[in-house]
Structure 1
Amino acid sequence: MTDIQLFLAHADDHRPILDEGLPLVATLDAPAQGAPPEALHRLANVHAPPDALPEQRWALVAPKGPAGDRLLSLLEPLRKKREEEQGEDALVYRVDPGMDPVAVAAWIQKEYRDAVGRREAARPRYLLLLGGPELISWDFQQMLGGEVFVGRLAFRDDRGYEAYVDKAVRWADATEAPRARTLYHAVLDGTRAMVEGDRHLVRPSLEMARQGQAAGTFGAEEIVEVPTDPAGTALDLSSAAGVLLREAARTRAGVLFTMSHGAGIPRAGWRSREEQHAHQGAMVLGRKGDLLTANDISRGPFLPGGVWFMFACYGAGTPSRSAYLPWLSRLHELGVIGNAADGVLAALPQRGDPPFIAALPQAALANPEGPLGVVGHVDLAWTWSFLDYDLESGGLVPKSRAERFQGILQAFVHGHRFGVAHHEIARFFRSVSTELTISYEERAHRASLSSDFVEEQASRVRRANLWMQRQDLAAYVLLGDPAARLPIARCPAGIRHAAPAGAASRGTEESVRREDAVLAVLRGTATAATVASRFGVSREEVERWVGIFVDAGRAALGRMT
């Protein structure tokens, strides 16, 4: 197939809004804009270990005014916890609501960069935004995501914030399991988008995970593929989704990857804005299935202490204006997408519509027995994010780029903080942006020279390809605290040794806890003061443990021949 597919279905009959996809030639009408904005560089201490809060720092970003004051008061317990972990007070930034890209760029320069001058290490790299996109814009989060580890908390009432804060503090010092369990769930409903997604993303990701597990490079305890009906029938909450919910309920401190259509506008339209906010972006469970909505996961165990990557249109939320509106409007004018044009354009945010967080991840994060983080999309999700196309003699050939998503899953599994893991997508975004910038510069250079028509057309196709990839990758955001991580043991495989014969069980467990603590200090993911507080000993005692561990390791190396 050489069509691009969209992961969006009508919320009522669950039929894809763009059933046949779009021909690749349609991308040639993507906006011909100038070179993309320069990626943000050196915003913080990029030389220190990324997971080390004492060096990287954690800060809060709240809207100005009474709403921001209230949010800061609700976050106080989590703020104190992060201050304990980093060994100093957390900065608080206050921002204006609804900042557009120009305003965000100015804020970054004045309030973030210039405020600390040349003291790069003083800039916090972990930023937790408080409030929905109507208070702190999606542009703010996405533009900071190039180098900063940024996440967002946004709930509809105080109880959501209180539940998440309590959960995050509770899991911060826990070690629930030695290694993470990973779940993969694709809704195989027979639509072309899901066929492409399964073939080029889910299958390759599972293969890489299993190969990595065997080689010791993907540290999952167990890799589980949640079954669905390949025929696309009987996919309701009592079958495939029921299996998903049961597996998620018994997966503590695990990783869940789901791929589905996101729920979009019903054929008759949304009856109210409240209905849209409750259902848009929900998981469509098949043509004859149901929706997985906020009500299904708002209470009871659902991936406790874990993290969820949700691949679907509007899975994380909806912007006030889609990045694809100019392009799709142009295709509509040209008649490229035929009768599907009205449905696709109707599924986009309309003029005056406010941006919002999707209810499904919001409910998961507000659930006391739910995950600590969710990664999802805030616009139309296409096959571009995991497919690339090479122009070969036989035409355009699709190439899987599943590694873009496997990287973030691997980072989760290995216990990295969620902001660090999410940064894997930002890394590929920067790579695509760099290639796109070079292509625009090359086009400008060729404008003054005579160039080969075929070569120029190939470059045009490539630029359009890169533009679409860039827009798609930029829309993946993290909901939850970027400093959160899976509550698993973070001791590298192969370091622990068997306890001496006859050692008491309690002594062994205590030794393991101390070893984990020492390794955390050595890796920079915890301070001696934090460990001392956790164990109820002095900082000097923890430093003594570290010294003993290091001396013993050196002695062992010295005995090697």
Structure 2
Amino acid sequence: MSNEESLPSTFSINAWTGAEVPATPVASTWRQWAVARHQQIKVKPLAADEPVDLRDWWDERVGWGLVLRDNDALSESNRATGTDVPEELRPLLEKRRGSPILRYRPEAGGESLRRYYTDRPAQSVMLSGSQRGTAPGRLPRYLLIYGSPTEVPWDFQYLLNGPCYTGRLDLTGEALSNYIAALINNWCDAKVKSDQPLIWTVDKGPNDITFLMRYLIAEPVRAALDKDPQVKGKVRHLAGPDATVDKLAAALKDPDRPPAMIVSTSHGMTGPIDNPKVMGRDLGLLVDANSQLVRPESMLDGWNPNGAIWYSHACCSAGSNNKTAYLGLVPPGSPVEQILLAVAGLGAHMAPFPRALLGAKQPLRAFIGHIEPTFDWTIRNPESKQPLTSTVVQALYNRMYRTRPEPVGLAFSDMFALVGQLFQQWSQAKDGALDADAAIRQRNREVALRTQLTALDREACVILGDPTVALPPI
């Protein structure tokens, strides 16, 4: 049967004249009509733009910006152009021309950053709810804080970690120049290899928190890397008694296997608490299996970080704050409270280890570490024994070892997003702690303790270095 014979003999339409049902046979010219275009206006599809790739920080819809302490001694025009930016940092602004300078003001209460212009009035850019990107009034997704934590506090970096992918540089002079030169050139001369990761894991037995850090952080990262067909068999894991200063130094200095990814889990040095000068000098240094300190000078004697990224899970490995969130959690006068108070007594500082590595002649790309201690409850639920470290493992492997690796700020964004989720759980548990039923009150108090403790732990993890850096592809 032909197509023509299969056609209906008439067309009907759903119009009504009041007298008849309009119907008509198909015209003999139907073939020409069928293949001719009869649409009168070319209509643009009503579809939103495809989501931008958040790895593309240079896309103006994503954006990168520099955060500085505001300077009321400067005109608004000079604040917009950054005349107070150190000379060593200026090449980065030239390279990333069009990127905004945003200013931290303590009186903003953590709600906004101030942006100044040369051609329009200044405005406050809200941290929550702002459109994203580099256009006027927008908040870039990637932010680099420049300055010490006394100028732009750690607490404000904690806030920025929620809506933005945030890093910090607290370097001056030659150290700053070294880092900026490497960043601008994307570590073009780096010899580090992403398929040669190094994991250094202190383990002092089941009664020590290093045991949990090994089996809940280091071992899952090692297992994930070892399943990767491009990395399998190349992971160096110095664990337990092998996690020594000498073996770490030897692994870092091996010219045939320069690691691009370094993961370490250990205690961080916080003593002697009765000698603040020495305590500050050694703050956060990794403590090896023999209780010896990993000093930056011993590592840098024969090793160039040259583009590596280091994740260090150790107390105060990134620095110290001028206060602690944990007063009232532990008994007054207890050894833990004494440590917490002694560290806070040092003030807000960046730790010496990442400072040395980020400012080296051939510097580290980024260092991720903590400002306060990690509690065992924050990496494993004390009731269910469920591990609570999946976002760390995913950041270090699933997101940083993609075919096109994610920048470090984006890779750790899920971990920082947990802070808001945990505080939301805490808020509900806090309200439940007022319930008339004693058992419900007790249960909610326990949930409030665990969720707030874990939120504070994740909050106090910071990225040092520019948040746009990523591992070199394999």
Please indicate the TM-score interval, normalised by the length of the shorter structure. 0.7 to 0.9
Q: Which moved more, 1:430-439 or 1:167-176?
A: 167-176
Alignment of 1:312 with 2:327, yes or no, is no
SS at 2:109 equivalent:
helix
Cα distance, 1:203 vs structure 2: 2.4
Q: CA deviation at 1:342?
A: 6.0
How far apart in 2 are the matches of 1:115 and 1:198?
A: 36
Which secondary structure does the structure 1 equivalent of 2:462 belong to? strand
AA aligned to 1:430 is G
Relative to 1, partners in 2 of residues 1:114 and 1:243: Cα closer, same or farther, differing over 3 Å?
closer
433-442 vs 131-140, which deviates more? 433-442
Cα drift, residue 364 of structure 1: 0.8
After superposition, where does 1:51-66 map in structure 2 within 5 Å? Answer: 51-53=55-57, 54=59, 55-65=61-71
Amino acid of the residue matched to residue 408 of structure 1? Answer: A
Q: Which amino acid aligns with 2:249?
A: G
Mark the CA change 1:115 to 1:345 in structure 2 (over 3 Å): closer, same or farther.
Answer: closer
Paired residue for 2:427, among 427, 437, 450?
Answer: 437
Q: Separation in 2 of the partners of 1:72 and 1:132?
A: 13
State the distance in 1 between where 2:126 and 2:439 align: 47
Q: 2:470 maps to which residue?
A: 485
Summarize the Cα distance change of 1:360–1:71 in structure 2 as closer, same or farther, 3 Å threshold.
farther
**Aligned-pair distance for 1:308?**
0.5
Equivalent position of 1:270 in the other structure: 275
- Larger RCO: 1 or 2 (CA < 8 Å, sep 6+): 1
Larger mean CA deviation between 341-350 and 114-123 belongs to 114-123
Pairing partner for 1:113 from 125, 140, 146? 125
- Are positions 1:245 and 2:270 aligned together? no
Match of 1:168 in 2: 183
Q: 2:200 aligns with which of 185, 192, 210?
A: 185
* Secondary structure of the corresponding residue to residue 388 of structure 1: coil
Look up the equivalent residue of 2:218 and give its one-letter code. Answer: V
The alpha-carbon distance between structure 1 residues 461 and 91, as it changes in their structure 2 partners (threshold 3 A), is same
The 3-state SS of whatever aligns with 1:478 is strand
Mapped to 1, the partners of 2:173 and 2:193 lie a distance apart of 34
| 1:129 paired residue among 131, 139, 145 | 145
| Structure 1 partner of 2:293 | 291
Aligned match of 2:450: 465
Deviation of 1:360 after TM superposition, in Å, equals 0.1
Q: How many angstroms apart in 1 are the aligned matches of 2:467 and 2:51?
A: 19
**1:365 and 2:358 correspond:** yes
User: Deviation of residue 341 (structure 1)?
Assistant: 5.2
CA distance in 2, matches of 1:241, 1:117: 45
Partner of residue 520, structure 1: none
- Check 1:296–1:199 CA distance in 2 against 1; reply closer, same or farther (3 A cut): same
Cα 1:317–1:225 change in 2 (3 A) is same
Q: In structure 1, what is the Cα distance between the partners aligned to 2:190 and 2:337?
A: 51
Match of 1:27 in 2: none
Return the alpha-carbon distance in structure 2 between the equivalents of residues 464 and 112 of structure 1. Answer: 35
Q: Which runs of 5+ in 2 are unaligned?
A: 1-48, 75-81, 116-121
Partners in 1 of 2:302 and 2:418 — Cα distance? Answer: 36
**Structure 1 CA distance for aligned equivalents of residues 86 and 104 of structure 2:** 13
Quote the Cα distance in structure 2 between the aligned partners of 1:388 and 1:459. Answer: 15
Q: Give SS of 2:329's match.
A: helix
Q: Does the 8 Å contact 2:175/2:361 carry over to 1?
A: no
- Tell me the equivalent position of 1:151: 167
Whichever residue aligns with residue 290 of structure 1, its letter is: Q
Deviation of 1:236 after TM superposition, in Å, equals: 4.9
- Equivalent position amino acid for 2:94 in 1: K
Match of 2:339 among 344, 348, 361: 344
TM-fit CA distance, 1:95? 2.9
- 1:412 corresponding residue in structure 2: 400
Counterpart of 1:258 (choices 261, 264, 282) is 264
Deviation (angstroms), 1:320: 0.5
Cα distance in 2 between the residues matched to 1:116 and 1:388: 31
Secondary structure at the residue paired with 1:376? strand
Residue 49 (structure 1) shift: 1.8
Distance 1:298 1:61, change over 3 A: farther
Note the C-alpha offset of 1:323: 1.2
Shift of 1:382: 2.0
Instruction: Provide the rounded CA distance (Å) in 2 between the counterparts of 1:222 and 1:303.
Output: 23
- 1:260-291: per-residue Cα shift (whole Å, max 9, x none)? 11011216x2262xx333210011113x3421
- Partner Cα separation in structure 2 for residue 461 and residue 432 of structure 1: 14
- Match of 1:200, as an amino acid? L
* Paired letter, 1:425: M
Gaps of 5+ in 1: 1-44, 84-88, 390-395, 490-561
Report deviation, 1:251.
4.8
Q: Which residue of 2 aligns with 1:77?
A: 91
- Give per-residue Cα distances to partners, 1:357-376, cap 9 Å, x unaligned: 00101111111333200000
- Residue 197 of structure 1 and its aligned partner are, at CA, apart by 1.8
Q: Is the 8 A contact 2:192 2:307 kept in 1?
A: no
Partners in 1 of 2:267 and 2:464 — Cα distance? 19
- 1:175 and 1:228, CA in 2 relative to 1: closer, same or farther beyond 3 A? closer
The alignment partner of 2:384 has SS state of strand
Name the CA shift for 1:261/1:409 in 2 (closer, same or farther; >3 Å).
Answer: same
Q: Report the secondary structure of 2:245's partner residue.
A: coil
Deviations 1:76-121 (A, max 9, x none): 22223333xxxxx11112334xx38x62225479955359996544
From the superposition, tell whether residues 257 and 64 of structure 1 become closer, same or farther in structure 2 (CA, over 3 Å).
Answer: same
User: What is the rounded CA distance, in whole Å, between the counterparts of 1:457 and 1:289 in structure 2?
Assistant: 40
Query: How far does residue 51 in structure 1 lie from its aligned partner after superposition?
Result: 1.0
Please give the secondary structure, in 1, of the residue aligned with 2:176: helix
Per the TM alignment, residue 237 of structure 1 is displaced from its structure 2 partner at its CA by 3.2
Higher Cα Rg, which structure? 2
Aligned pair partner of 2:285 in 253, 277, 282: 282
Q: Distance in 1 between matches of 2:223 and 2:167?
A: 29
- Would the aligned equivalents of 2:199 and 2:238 in 1 still touch at CA under 8 Å? no
Q: Give identity over the alignment, percent.
A: 19
In 1, Cα distance between the equivalents of 2:425 and 2:433?
12
Which amino acid counterpart does residue 407 of structure 2 have in structure 1? R
Relative to the length of structure 1, the TM-score reads 0.64
Structure 2 Cα separation of the partners of residues 300 and 367 of structure 1: 12
Are 2:104 and 1:104 aligned?
A: no
1:480-513 per-residue CA deviation (whole Å, 9 max, x = no partner) reads: 0011112225xxxxxxxxxxxxxxxxxxxxxxxx
Taking the aligned partners of 2:469 and 2:159, their CA distance within structure 1 comes to 21
